[in-house]
Amino acid sequence: MTGASRGIGRGIALELAKRGYDIAFSYATSLKDADLDYMINLDFRNYIVMMRAAAKYMITHGIRGTIVNTTSSRGERAYPDGESVLMKSSQQNIRLKDII
């Protein structure tokens, strides 16, 4: 996961871990919160490179799963029906059962 060292991303990562998921995450600025940069030599601020590296690792090691990107490179406006639109889109694209 990108963006999992603080804020909403951290909350999502913690909840997924509680539900039994194995989580790998990155950070851009908070060494105290996430001391993982020694494990992989990437620019963690570049979430596209990070997702590609995670996908390659998963394929190489036969790991099935979904890469969830919880970071944003720009702000978004909130919409009242945003959650229902997200849920519908997620169910169609990745068979997501619930939003936590």
Rounded Cα distance, 15 and 44, in Å: 22
Domain count, the chain: 1
Q: Is residue 83 part of a domain?
A: no
Q: What pLDDT was estimated at residue 86?
A: 57
pLDDT in tens, 27-79: 666 555 454 544 444 555 567 777 888 888 889 999 888 887 776 554 445 55
Contact (CB, 8 A) for 10 and 17: no
Note the helical H segments in 7-46. 7-18
pLDDT (0 to 100) of residue 72: 56
Of residues 24 and 39, the one with the higher pLDDT is: 24
* Tokens, residue 75: 């702000």
For residue 49, is it within any domain?
A: yes
**Considering the domain boundaries, does residue 84 fall inside one?**
no
Specify the 3-state DSSP secondary structure of 38.
Answer: coil
Is residue 6 predicted with pLDDT exceeding 50? yes
b/e 17-47 (16+ beta carbons within 10 angstroms → b): eeeeeeeebbbeeeeeebeeeeeeeeebeeb
Domain of 36, in residue numbers: 7-72
Q: Whole-prediction pTM value? A: 0.33
Band of pLDDT at residue 2, cut at 50, 70 and 90? confident
In a domain, 16, yes or no: yes
